[in-house]
Every structure is written in C-alpha cells, then in structure tokens.
Structure 1
Amino acid sequence: MSRRRDVPRATAGERPPGKGFGRRGFLTALPVAGAGTALLGGCVSRAGAVTDVDRILSVSLGQAEDHPSYGALLDFGERLAGATDNRWGVRVYANNSLGDQQETVQLVSDGAIDMAVISGTQIENSSPRFLPMNVPGVFDDMDHQNRVMLDDSIVGELFTSLEPDMRLTVLGGFTQGSRHLYTAPGPIESPDDLSGLKIRVQESKIFLDLINAMGGVPTPMAYSEVYTGLQAGVLDGAENNEISYVTQRHYEVATHYTLTNHLIGFDFFLANTDLLEEMGPEDSRALRETFTETQNAFVEIWRQETEKATEQMRERGVEIHEPDPAAFAPIIEETGYAILQDEADIAMYEAIRAASEEAP
C-alpha cells in the first residue's frame, strides 16, 4: 500500500518537518526560483527546470546550475514528458536547496520529495552494500562503470535492496569521472613526492585509507573550505576531477595537477518506490527508460566537459603531470580490495572486475 499522501500547505518560511511531511507541503514551504512557477503542472521555461505537463516531480541536486548534471536532469525531464504524452515532468532543485544529501535521502524515503542525486560515499550511509561500487580501482574508466551500472545481473538486486525498509529505488546515476590529485608545492610523480603533504579528502574511510597508502596525510575538510585551505597553506593539495577543479577555481591556489586516476566516482539517482508504483507500469517503465537514455548520454557529455576543463587548465598555466602508472596503480588496487571484508562485497567487486575483462 502506498505511503505517499498530501497534507495542507505549509506557511512560507517554515522549516520543513521530517518524517511524514507530505511532498506538496514540503515543496510549497520553499522559495521557488523564477516568478510564476507552478509546482503541480503548468508551463514553465527550461530555466525553471519544468515542462508543460500534468504533474511535476521534484529532483534534489547538490550541484549548481552550471554543472553538467543539472543540464542532464533538464533533458531527462523533457525526455520523460515526451515519453508519457506530457503526463510527467521534473523540476530540479539545485545547490542542495532541499537540504544536504543525507537529509534528502530521508525526504525521498518519506515521499516528501520524489527523487534525488546522491554521491556514492553518501549512499553508503544508507547501506554499506554499496561499498564495492565506490572503492579505488574497481572501475577502469567511465565506460566500464556505465556498463556495470546498467547490468541487472550485477546491480539489479543491489538497486532494489533499499525498497523494503526505506522505500528507495536506485534508477542508475551519473559518473563523476576520474579523480586525480592536485597540489601546490610541486608535481607528484611517486608516493615519495606525497610524503608529509596534507591532502584534503572527504570524511570517508575509503579516502582516508587511500591517501595514507599513496604516501600523503589525509585531511578531512568541508569542500567549501578547500580554496582557502590551499591559499593559507593549511592544505598542500586535494583530489577531484578536472571539472570540479576548474569550476571551483582551485587552479589559482594549486597549480600542479597529477593524473593518478585513483577513483571513478558515481552519483546515484534515487526515486521514491511508492511514486514508481503510483505511476503505473507504463509510465514507470518510461521513467526508467528515459533516465537510462540520459545516463548513457551523460557519459559523453562528461567526456566533452572534461576535455574543455583540461584545455582551460592549460590556458591558466596549470602543469598537468602523468606519472608512470606503475607508481600508483598497484597501491590503488590493493587499497580498494583491502577495504572489502564481507564475502558478498568481494563477490560483487570480482563481478565488476570480470565485466572489465569481458569488454571488447
């Protein structure tokens, strides 16, 4: 039986209550970008991230409007409207405007909002079963990652594992591309060059273990503080993909970018399970298929945007270094595998690696 329900509208400015607060009530309590925007149907411009449809689904996103995932979600909304004869569309709430990622996981679980994009490290807080998807060395590249994420024989059971207790369904997601190191003091060619350097990491065992193993000093810090940390010398470096490095202007305070390829990150796309059941088989299938189309297209979009970011890096005087793969690859693979303790996790890791070996 569906747990989704509507409740009376909240007064503007109220803090959204937690569990049990209905989707419409939660969303109408929030300021909406763009004048004249309707939450439940109506014609709104592309910039408003909604389409002229019977019902608009809310999507929470942590990234800003200039990030590739925002545009991809707009395209998803257009695809969905076309596939359902304008019965369904989406509105994207960027910049964590519906709350931080852990808050939005709970809100999607409750049905207060419909869907959300959640980072791999965050989804582990909901279920450690996702750990094998996030460890260093498990994916060779974005194409390998995308094949696995669309392979029901590998991820089908995992992606439905949150449904019974949390009413969350994973529909796929967006690649974060390859993550690399960037530093202020100088180039990184081997673990010896990282010795004693303070490298910003997410507060995650995966990243703490990895930077330690690579020779650096892992330093957890909020992402918003990385620029000033590098500028003040509190940090010697950080790790991220090319696009984030450029959009956050970290090239101004750390001019050496080393292609370590230590992790292929992923953002998971969650939907409320009751919503999918409420949509009915035809429209639910259309939503899944249109998101799969969007996910496939995003890989190429990310590749193109990475090339643009790399060119911008060169234009701004960033020194890009390509160390011998033998310097870091064995450390990355060994660290990733060592994190896995559960037999089921090891089995999934090995299935993912086998999918790489079977690729043409």
Structure 2
Amino acid sequence: MKIHKLQILSFCVVLTLFFSCQGTSDKRIIKLGHGLGITHPVHEAMLFLAEKVAEKSGGKMVVKIYPNQQLGSERELVELLQIGSLGMTKVSSAALEGFAPTMQVFGMPYLFRDDAHQLAVLEGEIGKKLLLDPQKFLLRGLCYYDSGKRSFYTKTKPVETPADLAGLKIRVMESNTASNMVKALGGSPTPVSYGELYTALQQGIVDGAENNAPSLYTSKHYEVCKYYSIDEHTALPDVMIVSTKVWESLNEQEQQWLQDAADESAIYEYKIWAEATEHALSEMQKAGVIISYPDKEPFRQAVESMYSDLKVQQPEIYKIVEQIRAVK
C-alpha cells in the first residue's frame, strides 16, 4: 500500500471514530475492525469477546466492533494497528505472515497430523511463542480462532487430483506460502481481496478459490462455484491481534480483562465453528453444490517440495516445522 493512501485512511478513521483507546467519559473504548460478514461464526466469537470485556470490567472497558471491511481490507486493518489508529482485528495467520514471518509456518500444507495435533500445538509453548512474535512489528497476538481447513471450490469442474488445477486461476490471500502451494499443485495463484472475490468469480477473473466451509457459505461464493473439493490442504488458524501501542496504553488490570475475554471467546469460537461447518455443508448441498472428498495423498506428494525448499531457504522456519512435528 502507498503510504499516502494509508495516511488518508488512518486520518479518516481517526476523525470519524476518534482514537482506539479513548472514550467520551472514563470508559476505555477499543475499536475492533474486521472483514467478515455479521453471520460468520468468527464475528459471533468477537461479539462474545466484547460481551466478556464489558462483563469483566463492569462496563469500564468497551470493545466496539466494525465488520464487513467498514474500516478497510485485512491488510489495511493490520497497518492501522501498527500506527495505533485501530485497536484490534482478526487476521488470518496467512495474511499475518507479511508482517510476522514466523506465522508463515501455519500456511505449510498438511502440517498437522489431525485436529488434536493442531490444538496441542496452538495451546502449547510453540503456539504461545508464535502469538508474541509479531510484537516486534507492533502487533500482539491474543488468541487463536479455529478457521477449519481450507479446500478448493471451483466453477466448472471439481478438483479431484492436482492435475485438475492445471490452467485454473485460483484466488489466494496475500501470502507467498499460499501462492507457492497453488503453484506446486499446478494452478495459477491470483491474489484478490476477499471483499472483491464474489465479483471476481462472477466475471471470470478467477476460476475458483480455497477456503473453509463456513466462509464459502456465508460469503455466498457457492452461488457461483458449485464444486467444493475437500482436500483440506491447510489448517490456518485465525489470530486475534491487538496493536502494541493500544496494549501498552492499558493498565495491568485492563490487559488482564482483555486477555481473559479473548481466551474465553476462543473456547466459544471452537464450539460454534464446528456447528457452523456442519450447517454450511448441509445448506450448500441443498443449494446444489457438489461436495467431494478426493484422495489427499497425491496432494501431499505434490507439495512435499515446499518443505525441501523451506529447509534450504528458510532454515529458521523449517526448525519450527520440526518442533511442530515433534509435538505428540
């Protein structure tokens, strides 16, 4: 993003909503912006977080939520956190890798053995350390939200093998790891903003995308893409982050309120995520979406070169991969 664009966006946000951690009285107000719709389960978890903050603080601390990219795209929101003009946002760990390089480890395909392994990593020392790594970039992770597993959805044919991706333009997030994965599988990675993706699919700018079931359903992308191939290539957690400038402006009690509320909202989010996934798959099938479960082994083999490249090119990230694989 050009710096003048960021300055203009930041100035508008500050004029409209004032500073992230200010209030009109003695209330502490923190703005939380994100790009998801209000029917998305992660938005529901953020509402839960806000309720818990108000409850724990006795109304002395308020989290105001602005969904649907009201305050900017995912990348713009993270940049606003860095300069302190926004308090909090939810960001995919894939998008966060552009700001905190160690986060790219989560984008490595087929990294986790199963759900239990992923949860053990996120709740253990590795996960806790990775949450705090972005502090040097003025961002602090509070908790992880379940974001399911990402799979391909396409307009004209299902993706049953990596060969089916040949010649297809697949939307990816602004993530080098995601782009490299699609390339390794034979597709053509095409970065598109999530808010612009529905139109991009309609107009043929991209032939498909990859995401979890609740996001495919709540975004209504299934109205355009009638094939959902559940290969579950990545299990990227979402990360709730707070601006370090805002975090450091809070006293110890306020920090504890916010951290405890985030932790409780993560437990709640895992529960409603599972329910949302089941509901999304059922409703999309009713709408005519063809859901398939291709053999994952050819996909795993196709992306194995990414680990070989990582070991040579980024040994510090590969070391984290080894640590994750060693978790029982």
Q: TM-score range by the shorter chain?
A: 0.7 to 0.9
- Structure 1 residues 150 and 161 mapped into 2: Cα distance closer, same or farther (>3 Å)? same
Preserved CA contact (<8 Å) 1:197 1:237: yes
| Aligned counterpart in structure 2 of residue 40 of structure 1, from 4, 14, 23 | 23
TM-fit CA distance, 1:274: 4.0
Map of 1:11 onto structure 2: none
Map of 1:350 onto structure 2: 322
Q: Which amino acid aligns with 1:73?
A: M
- Structure 1 residues 278 and 238 mapped into 2: Cα distance closer, same or farther (>3 Å)? closer
- Structure 1 residues 320 and 234 mapped into 2: Cα distance closer, same or farther (>3 Å)? same
TM-fit CA distance, 1:333: 4.7
Preserved CA contact (<8 Å) 2:106 2:235: no
What residue ranges of structure 1 are gaps of 5+ in the alignment? 1-14, 32-38, 43-52
Map of 2:262 onto structure 1: 291
SS of residue paired to 1:92: strand
Map of 2:223 onto structure 1: 252
Preserved CA contact (<8 Å) 1:18 1:107: no
SS of residue paired to 2:39: coil
- Please state if 1:118 is matched with 2:101: no
Query: Could you tell me how far apart the structure 1 residues matched to 2:239 and 2:93 are?
Result: 6
Deviates more, 1:301-310 or 1:270-279: 270-279
TM-fit CA distance, 1:124: 1.7
Map of 1:99 onto structure 2: 72
Map of 1:326 onto structure 2: 297
Preserved CA contact (<8 Å) 1:59 1:90: yes
Percentage identity across paired residues of the two chains: 32
Query: Could you tell me how far apart the structure 2 residues matched to 1:216 and 1:101 are?
Result: 24
TM-fit CA distance, 1:348: 1.1
SS of residue paired to 1:97: coil
- Please state if 1:74 is matched with 2:47: yes
Deviations 1:218-266 (A, max 9, x none): 3333444444444444533221111222223222332121111011122
The number of equivalent residue pairs is: 320
Query: Could you tell me how far apart the structure 1 residues matched to 2:256 and 2:106 are?
Result: 25
Preserved CA contact (<8 Å) 2:102 2:317: yes
Q: Which amino acid aligns with 1:317?
A: G
Map of 2:142 onto structure 1: 171
Preserved CA contact (<8 Å) 2:49 2:262: yes
Deviates more, 1:141-150 or 1:99-108: 141-150
Would you tell me which structure has more helix in proportion to its own residues? 2
TM-fit CA distance, 1:175: 2.5
TM-fit CA distance, 1:64: 1.9
Q: Which amino acid aligns with 1:310?
A: L
Q: Which amino acid aligns with 1:331?
A: A
TM-fit CA distance, 1:211: 1.7
Query: Could you tell me how far apart the structure 1 residues matched to 2:267 and 2:216 are?
Result: 24
Q: Structure with the greater relative contact order (CA < 8 A, sep ≥ 6): 1 or 2?
A: 2
Map of 2:130 onto structure 1: 158
Kindly report which structure 2 residues correspond to 1:109-148, keeping only aligned pairs within 5 A, or say none: 109-148=82-121
TM-fit CA distance, 1:322: 0.9
Q: Which amino acid aligns with 1:297?
A: Y
Preserved CA contact (<8 Å) 1:200 1:221: yes
Q: Which amino acid aligns with 2:265?
A: T
Preserved CA contact (<8 Å) 1:181 1:237: yes
What RMSD in Å do the two structures reach over aligned CA positions?
2.9
- Structure 1 residues 246 and 236 mapped into 2: Cα distance closer, same or farther (>3 Å)? same
Preserved CA contact (<8 Å) 2:310 2:318: no
Map of 1:29 onto structure 2: 16
TM-fit CA distance, 1:173: 3.0
Query: Could you tell me how far apart the structure 1 residues matched to 2:195 and 2:76 are?
Result: 18
- Structure 1 residues 274 and 228 mapped into 2: Cα distance closer, same or farther (>3 Å)? closer
Deviations 1:169-207 (A, max 9, x none): 111232221111122332322223333333232343222
| Aligned counterpart in structure 2 of residue 84 of structure 1, from 54, 57, 67 | 57
Q: Which amino acid aligns with 1:29?
A: T
Query: Could you tell me how far apart the structure 2 residues matched to 1:96 and 1:20 are?
Result: 14
What residue ranges of structure 2 are gaps of 5+ in the alignment? none
SS of residue paired to 1:300: helix
- Structure 1 residues 19 and 216 mapped into 2: Cα distance closer, same or farther (>3 Å)? closer
- Structure 1 residues 158 and 218 mapped into 2: Cα distance closer, same or farther (>3 Å)? closer
Query: Could you tell me how far apart the structure 1 residues matched to 2:251 and 2:162 are?
Result: 54
TM-fit CA distance, 1:331: 2.5
SS of residue paired to 1:91: strand
Kindly report which structure 2 residues correspond to 1:175-194, keeping only aligned pairs within 5 A, or say none: 175-194=146-165
Q: Which amino acid aligns with 2:62?
A: G
| Aligned counterpart in structure 1 of residue 172 of structure 2, from 198, 201, 204 | 201
- Structure 1 residues 307 and 337 mapped into 2: Cα distance closer, same or farther (>3 Å)? farther
Deviations 1:266-314 (A, max 9, x none): 2222212343344322331232122111112211211110111000111
TM-fit CA distance, 1:121: 2.7
- TM-score, scaled to structure 2: 0.85
Deviations 1:57-79 (A, max 9, x none): 11111112222222211111111
- Please state if 1:271 is matched with 2:255: no
Q: Which amino acid aligns with 1:204?
A: S
